[in-house]
Amino acid sequence: MANDRTPDKRRATGGGSSRSGAGAGRGKGGRTRPPTQVVTQQRPWGLIAAALAVVVFAAAVIGYAVVQVQRSNAGKVGSIDEIAGAQTFDYEGGNHDDNPIEYPESPPVGGSHANMWADCTGTVYDVDIRHENAVHSLEHGAVWITYNPDEVTDADVETLAGLVDGESGRMLSPYEGQDSPISVQSWGEQLKVDSADDERIKQFADLMTYKSDDFPEPGATCERPDFLADPPLESDDPAAPAQTPAPADASETTAP
């Protein structure tokens, strides 16, 4: 007798149910591809800002330095001939002579002079120091600024002191009877001006202070504590002999 070929309903139902369940499981709970993460590249704004700040700061520093150099060089001259009104005189190294000396220029700019030099370490005197001592300082490379106390104000003296005070190789003093309000001397050079604000004073001082090829004793010191402690005065000097001839090595030339 042939076997019944009718499918086992239970089996068919179970199997179908099983397959259907499996398919549904895969559709809902199976593996899925993770969503793609899009990473946006961040610009390093902090670093860029810091770099820009450094560049701006460096430019400011360089710009400031350039301006300062330009200011410091403004008005500088390279030769006495560039200073209008400056005169030059031909003096060799002077002899030492402690006697009163009559000088052809007033204030003097060279020639014989006292053994003791005046302290010229940026010294501001309020007395008319002995001229023979001052000339010795010129021989050491100093610049000597003098003023007629009857023709300048206290403010003028302050302005002149600002060019001298603390500047080695310079000194300032009143000069009684001077024929101009202000005069500036180095060994063999002189400039006379009417105003303490005249830019030529600074030009002269900056050019001629310790200008080694223009004075006889390069390297000589400007320090003289004993003179500074008790400076000899021009008024204490006995009168110089009248009609003293000018030194043989003194001949005047005027800068163009």
Query: Residue ranges of the domains in the chain?
Result: 105-238+247-254
pLDDT band at 126 (very low <50, low <70, confident <90, very high): very high
What does the alpha-carbon distance between residue 250 and residue 92 come to, in Å, rounded to a whole number? 8
pLDDT of residue 37: 65
pLDDT of residue 246: 41
> Is it the case that residue 44 has pLDDT exceeding 70?
yes
b or e along 183-197 (b: 16 or more beta carbons within 10 Å of the residue's beta carbon)?
bbbbbbbbbbbeebe
Query: Would you state the CATH architecture of domain 105-238+247-254?
Result: 3-Layer(aba) Sandwich (3.40)
> Is it the case that residue 66 has pLDDT exceeding 50?
no
> Is it the case that residue 40 has pLDDT exceeding 50?
yes
**Cis bond before residue 7 (omega within 30° of 0):** no
pLDDT of residue 18: 44
pLDDT band at 41 (very low <50, low <70, confident <90, very high): low
Find the mean pLDDT for residues 29-55. 72
pLDDT band at 39 (very low <50, low <70, confident <90, very high): low
pLDDT band at 249 (very low <50, low <70, confident <90, very high): very low
Structure tokens at 239: 């009168």
Lowest mean pLDDT among 57-61, 89-93, 184-188: 57-61
| Beta bridge partners of residue 124, listed in sequence order | 172
The closest alpha carbon to 169, from 108, 212, 109, 116, belongs to: 212
